[in-house]
């Protein structure tokens, strides 16, 4: 979704903005632009990629500009076009604004501005912001004009504003869209995402909603919307530039798939005490009493995080015997859910910024229940607004299609299951055994990753298929959903995930010799049922790609291809069965010539509703 970056310092701002925008590329975008200020205002914006914009810039000529703002746009109001791209400028070409978010009352404001003689050129909601600022700027300073304009806006925003009349300054403001300020030596970099900041500085402040910052190269002042000064705490970002580079891999997604042995380890490191058979998740901020009193857990999430939530549901209900519900955040926030004492809400979000998940969090809080978070991005809005939670410590995930964050989320959900199971059902000895098995998982994942070529060969045979079906039962059902999602996200092939037995109630009508069916069939208590489903597919000439446990020779009688993974206990099985599905989707997308890391229309972090 839209990315924004601003720089004020002593260096060539255009270079820094372009590099920063490239770091934000992964968020998904359709157009790009920059504005540079000195005694004049230079604006360049267009539909298409950052590299195209950059190649049209004379970087040497632009070296005189040491302040500027940049934007990658993901269209919401108005089609992707040069005119709709940000930055947007006022009538006099003095002020430029970039914006992430949605201004809900823009139509009313636009009408008023046109009545006052303003000339608005685009179809965007954003353009009203800059003209409103212009309206006040005739009388007030830039800071005061921004504050006055904000008081008229409804909706969400992360904005950066520059003016040629106050050229060495950026005014930034936030409500509902992320904004992080990086504090360097005689320079400030402000962005919607830490990945655009880390190469300049590790010192940051997290801008909160309804805060406005006035930035100059050596200073920043933070205000509330009432212009009262606010003290901010400077924090350290704990990741470095290597973690956001491809490091020899063709794509970020592939790198992230291959990082999973390490990221799963990071998710459980220090949290499993093998000698006492106990689990430590201190960040939950729940006393023993509170843990014992949980009567129901509600997971709230979107996309891949939602699939992790369903795995959490299956595991917690089976192993800890606590009722669990999983809700799409976008539904939860509006469907007037009934929550009661004893309920615990847990929001799951890789980015910690997904607008619907954030709104779900707020809805649950309003309804008076405790809300915890399972997030990856340290300091993200969701991490800060929850009552407690667990970081998954997967490191920056750049590929739009989530892979390592998913297995890390599942790993944390396994830890939560074990923590609750120890409280309710299991002895320390039993938990010790689970801990031992969990520690073996990263090595098992490494073995599966070694099957990359084998999976690529299968991908070659099915790369032109128009539809795929993914089937699994029990805890493998959400894995099937996730496998199908991976394929459609990055290869634009239609794919459906289904509980295997539900196939008979509809999808079976689609099966013929052109329909590959990916079946996850580990040796568990429903194995024989899944074999029956495979027979039904074979009887209709469907092609079967099975994911099965090593040693299961029999399955070859039913499947056209078998991808073997080492056998593991049911609790850990999703962590191993999902890996081949990620690799299959990756290879099919590459073979189809798709842009794996930046699939069309998708955004990594969906910060608008
Ligand atoms: C977008 C991303 C998905 C992600 C979903 C939820 O759709 O493309 O990869 O699963 O948002 O994001 P979150 O950051 O809340 O986990």
Cα(144) to centroid of ligand 1, in Å? 36
What mean pLDDT comes out for the span 174-189?
94
The predicted model gives 327-356 an average pLDDT of 94
Q: Is the CB of 354 under 6 A from ligand 1?
A: yes
The residue to mutate among 26, 257, 305, having the most atoms of ligand 1 within 8 angstroms of its beta carbon, is 305
Kindly give the number of the ligand 1 atom that is closest to the alpha carbon of 489.
8
In short, whether 54's Cβ falls inside 6 Å of ligand 1 is no
pLDDT of residue 574: 98
- Burial label, 88 (beta-carbon count in 10 A; 0-12, 13-18, 19+): buried
pLDDT digits (tens, 9 = 90+) for 48-74: 999 999 999 998 899 999 999 999 998
Task: Give first-to-last CA distance, the chain, whole Å.
Answer: 11
Residue with CA closest to ligand 1 atom 2 = 604
CA of 79 relative to ligand 1 center, distance in Å: 23
Neighbours of 367 (CB within 10 A): 15
Tell me which DSSP letter residue 155 carries: B
Residue 17: per-residue pLDDT = 97
330 lines ligand 1 (CB under 6 A): no
The helix (run of H) or strand (run of E) holding residue 469 is: strand 467-472
pLDDT (tens digit per residue) in 296-308: 999 999 999 999 9
| For helices 303-315 and 476-491, angle between their N-to-C axes, nearest 10 degrees | 170
Given this model, what pLDDT does residue 169 score?
Answer: 97
253 CB near ligand 1 (under 6 Å): no
pLDDT tens per residue, range 471-525: 999 999 999 999 999 999 999 999 999 999 898 898 888 898 999 999 999 999 9
Q: How many Å apart are CA 163 and CA 181, to the nearest integer? A: 19
85 Cα–ligand 1 center, Å:
24
Question: Is the CB of residue 351 below 6 angstroms from any atom belonging to ligand 1?
Answer: yes
For residue 292, give the 3-state DSSP assignment: helix
Q: Check pLDDT > 80 for residue 1.
A: no
- 170 CA → ligand 1 middle, Å: 30
Confidence at residue 484, expressed as pLDDT on a 0 to 100 scale? 98
Q: How far is CA 82 from CA 74, 96, 400, 505, in A?
A: 13, 15, 25, 48
Candidate from 302, 383, 401 with most ligand 1 atoms within 8 A of CB, to mutate:
302
Cβ-count burial of 488 within 10 angstroms (0-12 exposed, 13-18 middle, 19+ buried)? middle
Q: Which residues contact 273 (CB under 8 A, 6 or more apart)?
A: 279, 280, 435
* Cβ of 305 below 6 Å from ligand 1: yes
533 lines ligand 1 (CB under 6 A): no
Average pLDDT, the chain: 94
Q: What's the pLDDT score for residue 453?
A: 97
Mean pLDDT on 347-367: 94
Among protein residues, the one with the nearest Cα to ligand 1's atom 4 is 303
Out of 44, 164, 255, 604, pick the active-site residue. Answer: 604
Percent over 90 (pLDDT), the chain: 86
Distance 269 CA to ligand 1 centre (A): 25
pLDDT of residue 378: 85
Look at residues 554, 551, 507, 491 and name the one whose alpha carbon lies nearest to residue 528: 554
583-590 average pLDDT score: 98
Please tell me if the CB atom of residue 302 comes closer than 6 angstroms to any atom of ligand 1: yes
Ligand 1, residues 351, 391, 485, 582: which to mutate, most atoms within 8 A of Cβ?
351
- pLDDT digits 0-9 by tens, 420-477: 999 988 899 999 999 999 999 999 999 999 999 999 999 999 999 999 999 999 999 9
Torsion of CA 470, 348, 318, 473, to 10 degrees: 0
Tell me which DSSP letter residue 380 carries: -
Does 357 sit in the ligand 1 pocket, CB within 6 Å? yes
- Cα of 401 from ligand 1 centre, angstroms: 8
In angstroms, what is the span from residue 372 Cα to ligand 1's centroid?
18
Statement: residue 239 has pLDDT above 80: no
Which helix (H) or strand (E) segment holds residue 445: the answer is: helix 428-449
Assess whether pLDDT exceeds 80 at residue 588.
yes
* Distance (Å, whole) CA 514 – CA 532: 20
Average pLDDT (91-96) is 97
Residues 576-598, mean pLDDT to the nearest whole number: 96
Residue 304, ligand 1, Cβ within 6 A: yes
The pLDDT assigned to 403 comes to: 98
What's the CA gap between 609 and 606, in Å, rounded? Answer: 8
Q: Dihedral through CA 574, CA 399, CA 353, CA 241, nearest 10?
A: 120
604 carries an active-site annotation: yes
């Amino acid at each position: 979704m839209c990315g924004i970056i601003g720089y004020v310092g002593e260096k060539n701002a255009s270079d820094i903005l372009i590099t920063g925008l490239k770091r934000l590329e992964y968020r998904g975008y359709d157009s790009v632009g920059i504005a540079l200020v000195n005694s004049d205002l230079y604006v360049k914006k267009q539909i298409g990629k950052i590299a195209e914009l950059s190649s049209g810039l004379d970087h040497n000529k632009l070296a005189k500009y040491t302040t500027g703002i940049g934007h990658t746009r993901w269209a919401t109001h108005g089609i992707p076009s040069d005119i709709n791209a940000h930055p947007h400028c006022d009538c006099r070409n003095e002020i430029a604004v970039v914006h992430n978010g949605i201004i809900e009352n823009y139509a009313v404001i636009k009408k008023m501005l046109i009545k006052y003689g303003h000339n608005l050129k685009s179809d965007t909601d954003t353009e009203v912001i800059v003209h409103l600022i212009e309206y006040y700027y005739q009388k007030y300073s830039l800071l005061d004009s921004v504050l006055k304009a904000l008081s008229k806006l409804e909706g969400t925003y992360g904005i950066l504003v520059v003016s040629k009349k106050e050229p060495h300054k950026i005014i930034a403001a936030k409500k509902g869209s992320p904004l992080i300020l990086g504090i360097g030596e005689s320079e400030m970099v402000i962005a919607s995402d830490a990945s655009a900041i880390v190469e300049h500085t590790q010192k940051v402040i997290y801008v909160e909603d309804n805060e406005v910052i006035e930035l100059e190269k050596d200073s920043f002042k933070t205000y509330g919307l009432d212009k009262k000064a606010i003290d901010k705490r400077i924090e350290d970002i704990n990741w470095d530039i290597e973690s956001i580079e491809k490091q020899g891999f063709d794509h970020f997604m592939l790198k992230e798939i291959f990082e999973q042995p390490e990221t799963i380890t990071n998710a459980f490191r220090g949290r499993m005490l093998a000698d006492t058979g106990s689990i430590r998740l201190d960040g939950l901020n729940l006393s023993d009493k509170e843990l014992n009193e949980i009567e129901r857990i509600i997971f709230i999430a979107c996309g891949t995080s939602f699939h992790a939530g369903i795995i959490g549901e299956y595991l917690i209900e089976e192993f800890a015997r606590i009722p669990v519900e999983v809700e799409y955040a976008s539904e939860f926030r509006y469907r007037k859910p009934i929550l009661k004492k004893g309920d615990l809400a847990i929001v799951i979000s890789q980015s910690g910024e997904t607008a619907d998940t954030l709104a779900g969090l707020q809805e649950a809080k309003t309804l008076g229940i405790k809300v915890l978070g399972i997030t990856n991005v340290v300091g993200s809005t969701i991490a800060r607004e929850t009552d407690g939670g667990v970081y998954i410590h997967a490191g920056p995930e750049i590929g739009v299609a989530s892979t390592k964050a998913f297995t890390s989320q599942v790993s944390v959900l396994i830890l939560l299951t074990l923590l609750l199971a120890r409280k309710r059902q299991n002895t320390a000895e039993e938990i010790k055994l689970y801990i031992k098995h969990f520690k073996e998982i990263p090595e098992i994942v490494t073995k599966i990753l070694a099957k990359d070529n084998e999976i690529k060969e299968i991908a070659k045979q099915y790369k032109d298929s128009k539809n795929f079906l993914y089937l699994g039962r029990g805890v493998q059902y959400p894995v099937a959903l996730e496998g199908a999602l991976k394929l459609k996200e990055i290869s634009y092939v239609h794919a459906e995930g289904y509980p295997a037995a539900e196939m008979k109630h509809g999808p079976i009508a689609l099966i013929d010799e052109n329909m590959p069916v990916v079946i996850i069939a580990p040796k568990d208590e429903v194995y024989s049922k899944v074999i029956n489903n495979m027979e039904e597919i074979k009887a209709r000439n469907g092609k079967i790609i099975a994911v099965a446990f090593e040693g299961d020779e029999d399955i070859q009688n039913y499947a056209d291809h078998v991808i073997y993974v080492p056998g593991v206990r049911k609790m850990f099985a999703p962590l191993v069965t999902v890996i081949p599905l990620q690799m299959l989707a990756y290879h099919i997308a590459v073979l189809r010539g798709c842009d794996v890391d930046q699939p069309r229309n998708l955004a990594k972090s969906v910060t608008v509703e």
